[in-house]
Structure 1
Amino acid sequence: MLKIATDKIAEIIILAREMPRGESEFDGFVGRLDEEEEASLVAVFWIGRGSFEPEDYEEAYATARREASAPTQDYLKGSPHLADHLENGLDALGISAKDAEDDLY
């Protein structure tokens, strides 16, 4: 299903909460993801904000791959609710965002 490790998404959620103070760390972390991970991250984000339903993850992933035109970190930073959307997306997919975040602390 997901083409990105849950702990990576949890790290991105934590970094997103620290912006703008941690923006360069966020940019570096997201910038090191490969294309599959980036598309999966965007798909989770879209599910979390309600653009796609959880059962449409594969369609969201394919759309993210096809429509990627800007650096993923720049695209995601455009959302003032990035961390919430990622958490909601994971939760909608049946993955506990809180557990993943807690594992990093």
Structure 2
Amino acid sequence: MLQIAVEKVCDLIINSLALNATLDSGGDDFSEIPTIDETMEFSPPKDDRYLDLKRIIDKFNEEERQHLVALAWLGRGTFSLDEWEDALEEATQLEDTHISDYLVRMPQLGDYLEEGLAELGYSSEGFETGIR
């Protein structure tokens, strides 16, 4: 069902939560979830955590990035568990070169990914604290 290692998703969750903590303390405002088209015009903040998170996502292959998008959509309630295949299908329609910017600009990406994992029956416990 999920075509990306849970460990990779958990690493992304940790980094996303760190980025959100930086933004919450006075960084750029990402309260609006961008459309994929808006992401094409996005000028990234100068924060190293943003760049680290983007680099992590960019290292994933195309299928893994699509699964991340679908997982985030599942976690935020855009799609239900019964609509998982629909979410994956819609994610394949996105321009792959903009997926990392789209995901990084998602205000609660870490929370959405964690919720998405739970919906699919996976747990991020232990991974978030570095226990494997």
Whether 2:43 is the aligned partner of 1:43: answer no
> 2: CA distance between counterparts of 1:104 and 1:57?
29
Match of 2:114 in 1: 87
1:15–1:22 Cα contact (<8 Å) kept: yes
1:11–1:104 Cα contact (<8 Å) kept: no
> 2: CA distance between counterparts of 1:46 and 1:21?
25
Decide whether aligned partners of structure 1 residues 23 and 49 sit closer, same or farther in structure 2, where only a CA change above 3 A counts: same
Unaligned runs of 5+ in 2: 20-46
CA-based RMSD of the aligned residues comes to: 1.8
Larger Rg: 2
2:75–2:119 Cα contact (<8 Å) kept: yes
Stretch of structure 1 that moved more, 4-13 or 21-30: 21-30
From 64, 67, 81, the counterpart of 2:91: 64
**TM score, norm. by length of structure 2:** 0.71
Deviation at 1:102, TM superposition (A): 4.0
Count matched residues: 105
Counterparts of residues 1-105 of structure 1 (less than 5 Å): 1-19=1-19, 20-68=47-95, 71-103=98-130
Decide whether aligned partners of structure 1 residues 72 and 103 sit closer, same or farther in structure 2, where only a CA change above 3 A counts: same
Stretch of structure 1 that moved more, 5-14 or 68-77: 68-77
**Counterpart code for 1:2:** L
> 2: CA distance between counterparts of 1:69 and 1:21?
22
Alignment identity in percent? 33
**TM score, norm. by length of structure 1:** 0.88
